[in-house]
C-alpha cells in the first residue's frame, strides 16, 4: 500500500463512514471521497485534520518501502510525504516513528508561508538549515536562519516557518518525542 488514497481508505475502513470521518475532522465528505479516489491531493492542514480524526500521526501517511533494518535508512528507501497543494516535501530519516526520536528533512518552496497554521506539539524540536534562508516564528519571536544555522525550542509553544526567498529551503528537523 503506497498511495495516500489507499492509506486513507485503509485507515478509515471498518471504523468510520465517510460522513463520520467528515464530522470528526472538519473536512467535507465530498473532499474525503475525492481523496480516497485519488482525485486531488490534500493540503497539510487537511492531512493534519484527517490524521487527528483517525487518531493517527501524520507520519502514518508516509509512503515508501520499509528500511532494510531497524537502524539503517538508505537514501532511496526514505519514507516520503509530499503535500502537492502546499508544494511541501518531507523525508523521514529515522526508520519509523516508534522511537524516542524523529528526524526528517523538509523542503519548503519559494515564498512558502505557514503564518496562518502555527502548530504545537509535545516535546522539543531542533531545525538545522542545509540550504537557503528560513524564518522561524515561535510565539511572538522571529528568528532568521541562514545555511548552517540551527534553532532548538520547546515545540509546545506555537511555531511556524516562512521562506521569504525565491529559492527552495532544505532543512533537517529533529523532534523528541516523535510528533509527525
**Do 107 and 43 lie in a common domain?**
no
- Count of structural domains, the chain: 2
**Do 116 and 156 lie in a common domain?**
yes
pTM of the model: 0.69
Domain span at 19: 4-61
pLDDT in tens, 150-167: 999 999 999 999 999 999
Last residue of a domain, one of 37, 61, 85: 61
CATH code (residue 96): 2.60.120.10
The answer as to whether 70 is a domain residue is: no
pLDDT in tens, 70-123: 788 889 888 887 777 778 888 999 988 778 899 999 999 999 998 888 888 889
Exposed (0-12), middle (13-18) or buried (19+): which is 140, by Cβ within 10 Å? exposed
In angstroms, the CA 97 to CA 59 distance is: 7
Amino acid at each position: 500500500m503506497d498511495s495516500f488514497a489507499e492509506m486513507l481508505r485503509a485507515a478509515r475502513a471498518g471504523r468510520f463512514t465517510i460522513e463520520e470521518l467528515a464530522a470528526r475532522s472538519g473536512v467535507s465528505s465530498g473532499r474525503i471521497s475525492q481523496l480516497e479516489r485519488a482525485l486531488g491531493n490534500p493540503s497539510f492542514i487537511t492531512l493534519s485534520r484527517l490524521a487527528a480524526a483517525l487518531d493517527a500521526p501524520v507520519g502514518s501517511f508516509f509512503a515508501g518501502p520499509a528500511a532494510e533494518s531497524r537502524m539503517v535508512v538508505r537514501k532511496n528507501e526514505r519514507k516520503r510525504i509530499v503535500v502537492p497543494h502546499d508544494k511541501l516535501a518531507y523525508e523521514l530519516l529515522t526508520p519509523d516513528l516508534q522511537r524516542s526520536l524523529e528526524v526528517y528533512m523538509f523542503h519548503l518552496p519559494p515564498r512558502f508561508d505557514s503564518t496562518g497554521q502555527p502548530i504545537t506539539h509535545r516535546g522539543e524540536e531542533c531545525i538545522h538549515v542545509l540550504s537557503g534562508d528560513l524564518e522561524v516564528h515561535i510565539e511572538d519571536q522571529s528568528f532568521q536562519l541562514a545555511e548552517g544555522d540551527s534553532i532548538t525550542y520547546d515545540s509546545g509553544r506555537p511555531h511556524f516557518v516562512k521562506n521569504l526567498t525565491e529559492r527552495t529551503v532544505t532543512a533537517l528537523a529533529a523532534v523528541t518525542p516523535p510528533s509527525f
